[in-house]
Chain A
Amino acid sequence: GAVVSQHPSWVICKSGTSVKIECRSLDFQATTMFWYRQFPKQSLMLMATSNEGSKATYEQGVEKDKFLINHASLTLSTLTVTSAHPEDSSFYICSARYKDGTVQETQYFGPGTRLLVL
């Protein structure tokens, strides 16, 4: 099956530093990648949609200058949290979508990255 990896799985950083999270589709080429954020005991909230070679589309309320997304290839997308603050502490999950030969595209999730900003 389709496998999506994320790195790192855990990161603890000081307030004001930047953190980069990588998302890779290991055995397929992702037409689109998505970044979600999940706070404790809450649902997944879509942050942005990323297509290879083009600028990411951010959801309302998500600061594009704070959450930098780079989709360099069909298998790699990165999310950089710039000047992280404690309120950015969350579980960040990426998802990759590919065409599975049917009309509907399937979306597969990475294992997530837990970010704790002190």
Chain B
Amino acid sequence: GQQVMQIPQYQHVQEGEDFTTYCNSSTTLSNIQWYKQRPGGHPVFLIQLVKSGEVKKQKRLTFQFGEAKKNSSLHITATQTTDVGTYFCAGPWVRGNTPLVFGKGTRLSVIA
């Protein structure tokens, strides 16, 4: 079946180091969305990428959508302890009004 895969599953970094998580879909996505879930919390919407090759930035976060609309990445520059949490990518397939399918997430821990 259709799947969204994310790597790595876990990432431990020293505060100030960079962090990247990668998302790959088995089929073309209509768009890709990124969410952050803090420990004990619920997923919070970060951003949506729609266009092939799109790049968006939010302060220290850079999001990319691949040319084939099957992969995406989230890069955090100079991580801070407030970046701790699990980052999920999610996308609907190119078939109309379909629900989001989530990747397994990347759990980020930042050591001060």
Contact = CB atoms under 8 A, between A and B. Distances in A.
A107 B102 contact: no
Interface residues on B, range: 20 to 34
B44 A44 contact: no
Nearest to A31: B97
A108 B44 CA distance: 8
B44 A109 contact: yes
Contacts of B42: 93, 109-112
A104 B50 contact: yes
Nearest to A108: B45
B33 interface: yes
Contacts of B102: 36, 43-46
A103 B35 CA distance: 20
A28 to B, nearest CB: 14
The 10 closest A-B pairs by CB, nearest first: A112-B42, A43-B104, A44-B102, A43-B102, A111-B42, A109-B43, A34-B99, A104-B31, A43-B105, A49-B99
